[in-house]
Structure 1
Amino acid sequence: MAIPIPGTPVRGSKSGQPIMALFDLLGRSWAMGIIWHLDQGASTFRQLQTYCETISPTTLNKRLKELTDAYLLERTPNGYALTEQGKELFQLIDPLGKWAKTWAQHFK
Structure 2
Amino acid sequence: MARRVSHEGAECPVARAVDIIGDRWSLLLVRDAFDGITRFSDFQRSLGLARNILASRLKELVGASILEVVPAADGSAYHEYALTEKGRELFSIVVALRQWGEDHLFEDGEPHSVLLDAANERPLQRLEVIDASGRTVTSSDTFVRKVSH
The reply to whether TM is greater than 0.5 is yes
SS at match of 1:19: helix
- Is 1:74–1:83's contact at 8 Å kept on the other side of the alignment? yes
TM-score, with structure 2 as normaliser: 0.57
Which structure has more RCO (C-alpha within 8 Å, separation ≥ 6)? 1
> 5+ unaligned residues in a row in structure 1: which ranges?
8-14
SS at match of 1:41: coil
Which protein has the larger Cα radius of gyration, Structure 1 or Structure 2?
2
Per the alignment, residue 19 of structure 2 pairs with 24
- Is 1:6–1:17's contact at 8 Å kept on the other side of the alignment? no
Q: Return the structure number with greater helix share.
A: 1
Which deviates further from its counterpart, 70-79 or 56-65? Answer: 70-79
Judged with a 3 Å threshold, the aligned counterparts in structure 2 of structure 1 residues 86 and 52 are, in CA distance, closer, same or farther, namely: same
What does the per-residue CA deviation read over 1:23-61, in whole Å, with 9 as the maximum and x for residues that have no partner?
Answer: 1322324111100000022511111110111x1111001
TM-score, with structure 1 as normaliser: 0.76
Q: Distance in 2 between matches of 1:75 and 1:5?
A: 26
Q: Runs (4+) of structure 1 moved beyond 4 Å?
A: none
> 5+ unaligned residues in a row in structure 2: which ranges?
73-79, 111-149
Share of identical aligned residues, percent?
Answer: 29
